[in-house]
Amino acid sequence: MTDNEGEPLRLYRKALRYAESDPEVFLGTARRAAESILLDIALREAVGSKPTLEALLTVLTAKGLVPPKVVPAVRTIQNYGNYGSHAQDSPAEEISAEDVRPCLDALTQLAVWYGQTSSSLAEEAARHRLADRRRGTGTTRLADSTLIVIKAVLLGCGLEKAVARRNHRVLPVQLPWSDNLVRDVSTRLLDVAVYNEQRSLRLLESDQEISDRVVTVGRVGYSMGGRNFYLLAARDGRWGGVTAEEFLEHPAGAQIAVPKHSDMFDNLLSALSTDEAGLADMGVSILDVPHHLGLELFHLNRDVLAVGGQNLRMHAHDDDAYFELLNSEMLPASTQVRLRSAAANVLVANRTWLEELNLRPVELHRQLMRSFHDIGSDDESYERLVRDLVTHASFPPESPLDNRERLVRHVLFESYRWGRPS
């Protein structure tokens, strides 16, 4: 973690908001966002540099920390920032949203690269810290999570009590949601984790070493009950008057904003019954955007379509300017089944760890699920879980407390049918 953490994304989102409403302010904010991104990389890598865009780019490029493909994007932002500062001295020269489009595209390219790079650096640092930490006797290493649907399982399944009966204590370890969780369970960097079932099984089937060391304990539910896919559109954009059926029949020309390295992209491919190459054949292009973007992404293009998480979905639900052009329930039954299957999560455990605790997978799963489902039938336990999730799960920094609670209740209802529909 750095003192600058969170600032790059905040500035990027701020820049998007100004791209149409005040292009001159956008150019200055875009430059600040680029500086903040490079500064964060420098701080993470302990690279000394003056905190200017030129100095940071020169030093980080020389050390191979900024790849050649990203340099033109930074230069574009830098040049437009210079242009914007000079334009402010010439009131007669007005800058339009169309004028700054190349800078906006360059900033998005930089933000996507940064999102992937910073996540990788953070994951690597966490893994190194864990590897260097001496494993204590009677310690169970659990992959922690700030995702609401996963954190609910971790808080509510009673794993701590289950292992305490065998003189173990749980050590939660915060690691990103990725295939590496299963690999870490295999090497005993972790002992147990909750991860996507399909991806877990794929790893077990493709890697004999992982299969020999890791076992699926049992399914622990479905993210959003398997109804987590949606395609968001602006009512005043190109797709405002189009039905789901019309879109599925003629999707050509659609530009869809979605993080490519995510299960959201996988769900999009499933929903459209195609693969990445097939999207191009359909005339659909992908705009790779950073995770956790809000409705600001529509400042990139009012005609864009968006696939995102539940935070974005809830924000759009509260704003009549947006609607779901497509969602899971509008798709054919066979596609819904496929999406539901892709949303299943499973508990995976290291075989040696289970042997040390003298636990059989089916026995452990039964214990944990009994504790977990008891929460849904006990109002006091349910409300306590809601409070814990509001405190410990991840949300956009600017989201107010009541919005966080509403999102938690929504996710719990959709995923586990607890509480009431929002």
Go through the domains of the chain in sequence order and give each one's CATH number. 7-129 (1.20.120), 135-225+347-416 (3.40.190.10), 228-341 (3.40.190.10)
0.85 exceeded by pTM:
no
pLDDT digits (tens, 9 = 90+) for 160-169: 999 999 999 9
Q: Give CA–CA dist 199/263, Å, rounded.
A: 10
Q: Give CA–CA dist 262/267, Å, rounded.
A: 9
Q: Where are the beta strands (DSSP E) in 122-280?
A: 139-144, 169-174, 192-196, 214-222, 230-234, 255-257
CB 215 within 8 A of CB 361: yes
> Helix, strand or coil for residue 399?
coil
195 membership: H or E segment, kind and range:
strand 192-196
Q: Where are the beta strands (DSSP E) in 269-364?
A: 285-287, 305-306, 322-327, 344-350
Start-to-end C-alpha separation, the chain: 35
Query: Residue 1 has what pLDDT?
Result: 46
Q: Which residue has the tokens 């214990």?
A: 367
Tell me the pairing of strands 230-234 and 214-222: unpaired
Q: Give CA–CA dist 58/255, Å, rounded.
A: 34
Query: Residue 92 has what pLDDT?
Result: 57
Query: Residue 72 has what pLDDT?
Result: 95
Q: Which residue has the tokens 């800078």?
A: 103
Q: How far from 359 is each of 143, 217, 218, 267, 368, CA to CA, in Å?
A: 19, 10, 13, 35, 12
Query: Residue 288 has what pLDDT?
Result: 84
Ranges of residues in the chain whose predicted pLDDT is under 50:
1
Q: Give CA–CA dist 58/37, Å, rounded.
A: 14
Query: Residue 124 has what pLDDT?
Result: 73
CB 348 within 8 A of CB 195: yes
Structure tokens at 52: 């200017």
CB 117 within 8 A of CB 45: no
Query: Residue 91 has what pLDDT?
Result: 60
